Structure 1
């Protein structure tokens, strides 16, 4: 049998230049803060600077998460900076040199098409792992990271940025726990006031602190509410009203508030003798994020 492969027709109208621009050169260079400042002093065609983006890149450089990729610095044929201002500003802010590609000689008319692609999300980064429910998973990892690194600071702005590298690294280091947290949250969030992300992140940090606790009891009580007596922290958590999630200046509840309420209920359930009167409400001004009670396995000789 002979199989004939059909060739696609040539487009009637060209969809771009047929030949790459001539005179373009590139090299991998160490760009120091001094060199970055020099590059930034040249005439620039770049868009308005996004300071939050700069701060996030600078933090990644400080954490040694910078990787050499095809994204670098580009100058046009006159020496004007076409692309890379945020990366250059981040190097200056971090005060640390990094390696990157430096391109020279691009025609100025390519400027409008630079950086028009969609940024890669944390969920996109997890695609290679084969993990399920990646948007929820990446959001969970981000908020666990924020809880562990800056529990009492606002989880917004550039300081709350968690890079894709950190999300992937955290997942690879503890994938079973994160997978379990996401699975449980998808079951529990239907019975609780909190969002799936808040439930998953709270489940992760509490069970991480208390691996010896009776998790089946905790989860089953929250899911069914059956036979829970007055004063049971699980019943109190189930009864937190869902309307606290509605938008509004007085009713909006942050992710920190949601996690704080979950952790307070967990702590009261693990150590009921120390719970006293349980108040499940958003964090008051100046109130610290609660820390999950630890329940460790006993060491055996």
Structure 2
């Protein structure tokens, strides 16, 4: 039997070529169909409440990140689908639906209905595109290092000075780069330093350089150059104490190599140098207040 499919309207972004045929022919309802629609908080909540097949637990960080993008208007229709099985259970998309409900936003989605229950076994088996991948597509140099440094800077700017909280979304990373373009310079300075002195990871070095450059860009670059070479530094020089602390932490493997610890000793050495204070030994106790660059 031949089914006449209506011609699409190129000016209607939510055109559904199967809407009329599926409704008119009950026998066709088990066949999967795809449509685009706007989903708001009420519909999202109804789907989540009504369809409660066994599912993996929701990941709070994912829901929170999606909700931030939706509330800020960053969410875009990108081809990812909400998937419903023949019984109406949500096979894929629960995090997005939970985010819609939390953000109290209405967003466009592609909906696939009438999938077999077994379809869930192959959902989410692909590799998700990271912020570094997106920056590479934008032509950025050292895109994955840039993404890692921007994630740390985002945490710092939202008040997570220990760098341990939620990560930004890709949209938030791109927005931050647009607002802080000098991070590109910090990436290059950090990369060169890390090549010569590998103990602090380059992303933490880039964050430190970026924060220091707000105070004095030239001094920030000199600070990293001194850290890289270690030459010509007299006893009591803060950068010499910093190098010793980083090497000692790397050699002992006592858990003090966290990003929080490394950033704290970087800032303490910077502050001592700015104040002209000699420094022979650097330390930072877990749980102590994070110093701020001066």
The aligned residue for residue 221 of structure 1 is 226
Match of 1:254 among 232, 255, 258: 258
Match of 1:281 among 276, 280, 283: 283
Matches within 5 A, 1:25-36: 25-36=33-44
TM superposition shift of 1:236: 1.5
Matches within 5 A, 1:203-222: 203-211=209-217, 213-222=218-227
**Higher normalized helix content (fraction of residues):** 2
Aligned partners of 2:186 and 2:206 also within 8 Å: yes
Q: Deviations over 1:128-174 (max 9, x none)?
A: 22223222111111111111212345614xxx221111222223444
Q: Deviations over 1:51-72 (max 9, x none)?
A: 2322332233233322222223
The aligned residue for residue 271 of structure 2 is 267
TM superposition shift of 1:33: 1.9
TM superposition shift of 1:202: 0.8
Q: Deviations over 1:42-89 (max 9, x none)?
A: 334563123232233223323332222222322223323222111112
Aligned partners of 1:77 and 1:107 also within 8 Å: yes
Number of paired residues? 264
The aligned residue for residue 138 of structure 2 is 129
TM superposition shift of 1:208: 2.5
Establish whether residue 149 from structure 1 lines up as the match of residue 158 from structure 2: yes
The whole-number CA distance in structure 1 between the counterparts of 2:95 and 2:171 is: 19
Aligned partners of 2:235 and 2:280 also within 8 Å: no
Q: Which runs of 5+ in 2 are unaligned?
A: 1-28
Aligned partners of 1:32 and 1:96 also within 8 Å: yes
Aligned partners of 2:211 and 2:293 also within 8 Å: yes
Identify if the C-alpha distance between structure 1 residues 85 and 215 changes in structure 2 by more than 3 Å, giving closer, same or farther.
closer
Identify if the C-alpha distance between structure 1 residues 165 and 245 changes in structure 2 by more than 3 Å, giving closer, same or farther.
farther
Q: Deviations over 1:8-36 (max 9, x none)?
A: xxxxxxxxxxxxx9743333333222211
Q: Which runs of 5+ in 1 are unaligned?
A: 1-20, 294-301
Matches within 5 A, 1:131-210: 131-152=140-161, 155-156=164-165, 160-175=166-181, 177-189=182-194, 190-191=196-197, 193-210=199-216
Match of 1:116 among 118, 125, 130: 125
Aligned partners of 1:192 and 1:238 also within 8 Å: no
Q: Deviations over 1:72-110 (max 9, x none)?
A: 322223323222111112222333332222232233332
Higher relative contact order (CA 8 A, sep 6+): 1
Establish whether residue 292 from structure 1 lines up as the match of residue 290 from structure 2: no
Identify if the C-alpha distance between structure 1 residues 279 and 146 changes in structure 2 by more than 3 Å, giving closer, same or farther.
farther
Match of 1:232 among 237, 244, 247: 237
